[in-house]
Structure 1
Amino acid sequence: MIITPGILTPFFCVFSYHRRFVAPRGLVPFLIAFIFLAGPGQAQQLRDTVKVGYIDAPPLTYQSENGRAEGSFIELTRRVAEEAGYDPDFEYLPVTRAYFYLRTGGIDVWPGVTDVPALKGEVLESFVSPQPFQLSAWGMQTMPPVSHFNDLKGTTLILISGYTYGGLADLLERTPDIALTDAPSHQAAVAMLKRGRGDYLLDFHGPVKAVLKEFPVQGIREYPVRIRNTAWVFSLANPRSSQLRDEFDDAYLRLAERGEVPQPRPLSEGFQLPGLADLL
């Protein structure tokens, strides 16, 4: 750090304020030393904190046994936030509460997906989309394949408790000829499917693959239902939401240019199971 007359002026002004003031011996050297030693540390302490809400969607985002935020999207969020000049403060939330906090300003950002109906008009989404996010129907090989939404009619679907599936859960509840049953976790849902307590499981690709890697089940088939874009979703209740969105996007692009994260993927319309658009 370079000491200039301008930096020391406030201190000397104090000493010269009154003609009779005599600085205690050693005070001026102490102040100069304080500036040298405290400068870099003080700069680090001035970093802002950004409140990040995350949900249970392994392996992208989840809470480890020791309470730490984990997952590929979490680690990416850490790197981008720090590159943007922020210290991320993670809070694990049920998905419905994450939506509520985004609407009310309880969190600043959610590493999630785009185009959530419940958040329309309440959030800003990053222009950068790090990876796709796939919702699938999972069934045992004894069940017919799912190639159209009508293939799910007359069946029982297993859903994860508390998941909105981007608004799809509410619509399924109002759809005739489809019965719904809840599972408390992804692992429990896979076990229910294996035991025949539902015809198909509606769940995300990452979490089910993580369960099957740890607890292999033979004969499970996956049928894509919806493929969406991941994004950082910023609360419009925060007056700095636009600035945060730009800073996160710029930080990601700098990291990508240095080869530290994947190149930005082009946003796409994704995929929807034929016939699903009639429901949405």
Structure 2
Amino acid sequence: MRRCHLQYYSAIPRSALALTGLLILLFFLFRPAFVGAEELDVNATKVVRVAYVEFPPMTFRNALGEPAGEFVDITRKVAAEAGYELEFIYLPVARTYLYLQNGTVDLWLGLTGTPALRDDVLESWISPIPVELSAWYREGTASLDHMDQLHGQTVILIGGYTYGGLRSWLEDQADIRVTEAPNHRSAVDMLKRKRGDYLLDYRQPVREALTQPSDVIVQEAELRTRNTAWLFSLASPRASILREAFDDAYYRLAERGEVPSVRRLEKTFVIPGFPEEYR
């Protein structure tokens, strides 16, 4: 057998043996580069693409064009604790929904119970901040105490906002006229100019927008409370992994007092007459 092996190897041309040796040498010479590329791919999975919208003071783009706001700051802390890097993408609401549905972004700093995203996202168990939806009206207009009062009125909404599905209900009412404003400040100005009887908008951004002395005529009545959350795209294979990582990181930070205490999600406030299907 030994003689047969010697005869076999002696039959291989020296040029082939030389080529084989060269290939082996090149493999070991460039192996560190291949390993580095693998490590780069692993590191790339630590980058999380985050959608955020204009929702001051929770999330907004500041004068430098950078993401800012209370929810943004909390998310940065949570991601760092969980070992992830963030890539923020500023988007209008409608495009945010699309990017979550097709997996262009990994998550959105949004609100729970968004009907349009029911089958497209995993919501975090943690809700860092409550958000109040209010009806804003001028002095001299009756405060909104029941949803029936909106019938026969003109209601101002923010363009692109679904209000947890409430927009659809309003648009389906034959005796409620819906008009739109492009942003929160414009909406307040429309209300003051009597281009609508009520403005439905979230408390935090409207209070941020009330900066002019004449804004004192704008009054508020609470409609419902909603909860912020991280909404993870189900189009991403990492959705459940990211949710667990973010929730666990938040618990650790809360125990150290570095983020708000963990909130118990109880039944939220809803004004009488609010459509049952959108509560």
TM-score of Structure 1 vs Structure 2, range by shorter chain: 0.7 to 0.9
SS of corresponding position for 1:202 = strand
Count of residues paired in the alignment: 243
Question: Distance between the aligned counterparts of 1:273 and 1:73, measured in 2?
Answer: 26
Superposition pairs for residues 117-196 of structure 1, below 5 Å?
117-196=115-194
Q: TM-score, normalised by structure 1?
A: 0.81
Q: What is residue 7 of structure 2 aligned with on the other side?
A: none
Question: Relative to structure 1, is the Cα distance of residues 151 and 46 closer, same or farther in structure 2, using a 3 angstrom cutoff?
Answer: closer
Q: Where do residues 1-280 of structure 1 align in structure 2 (5 Å cutoff)?
A: 48-213=46-211, 217-278=215-276, 280=278
Distance, in Å, in 2 between the alignment partners of 1:215 and 1:57 is 22
Which has the higher mean CA deviation after the structures are superposed, 103-112 or 160-169? 160-169
Moved more, 234-243 or 211-220: 211-220
1: CA distance between counterparts of 2:44 and 2:152? 59
TM-score by length of 2: 0.82
Which consecutive unaligned segments of at least 5 residues does structure 1 have? 1-16, 22-30, 32-37
2:196 and 2:129 mapped to 1: Cα distance?
A: 30
Give the residue type in structure 2 aligned to 1:130: P
Give the aligned residue type for 1:131. I
**Offset at residue 278 of structure 1 (A):** 4.5
Look up the equivalent residue of 2:215 and give its one-letter code. V
Does structure 2 retain, via aligned residues, the 8 Å contact 1:229–1:268? no
Asked if 2 retains the 8 angstrom alpha-carbon contact of 1:171 and 1:279, the reply is no
Q: From the superposition, tell whether residues 103 and 215 of structure 1 become closer, same or farther in structure 2 (CA, over 3 Å).
A: farther
Deviation of the 1:47 alpha carbon:
7.3
Distance 1:150 1:279, change over 3 A: farther
Q: Which moved more, 1:61-70 or 1:144-153?
A: 61-70
CA 157–240 in structure 1, closer or farther in 2 if over 3 Å, else same: same
Question: Higher Cα Rg: structure 1 or 2?
Answer: 2
- In structure 1, C-alpha distance between the alignment counterparts of 2:277 and 2:122, rounded to whole Å: 26
CA contact (8 A) 1:47 1:87 kept: no
Aligned-pair CA distance for 1:215: 6.2
What is the CA distance between 1:59 and its match in structure 2? 0.5
1:67 aligned counterpart, secondary structure? coil
- Deviation (angstroms), 1:277: 2.3
Offset of residue 266 of structure 1 = 0.5
Task: Quote how far apart the aligned CAs of 1:45 are.
Answer: 6.1
Give structure 1 regions of 4+ aligned residues with deviation exceeding 4 angstroms. 44-47
Matched AA of 1:236:
L
Letter in 2 for 1:222: E
Amino acid at match of 2:182: P
CA distance in 2, matches of 1:214, 1:127: 38
Cα distance between partner residues in 2 of 1:114 and 1:264: 16
User: How far 1:103 moved relative to its partner?
Assistant: 1.2
Paired residue type of 2:113: D
CA distance in 2: counterparts of 1:102 and 1:46, whole angstroms: 19
In 1, the alpha carbon distance for the partners of 2:84 and 2:212 equals 35
Mark the CA change 1:184 to 1:115 in structure 2 (over 3 Å): closer, same or farther. Answer: same
**Preserved contact between residue 49 and residue 89 of structure 1 (Cα < 8 Å):** yes
| CA shift digits 1:41-95 (9 cap, x unpaired) | x9x9677100000111111011123211111101111111111101110001111
Q: Deviation of residue 213 (structure 1)?
A: 3.8
1:232, CA displacement in angstroms? 0.7
Question: What percent of counterpart residues are identical?
Answer: 49
Q: Shift of residue 216 of structure 1?
A: 5.7
What's the Cα RMSD here?
Answer: 2.2
Query: Structure 2 CA distance, aligned partners of 1:69 and 1:104?
Result: 23
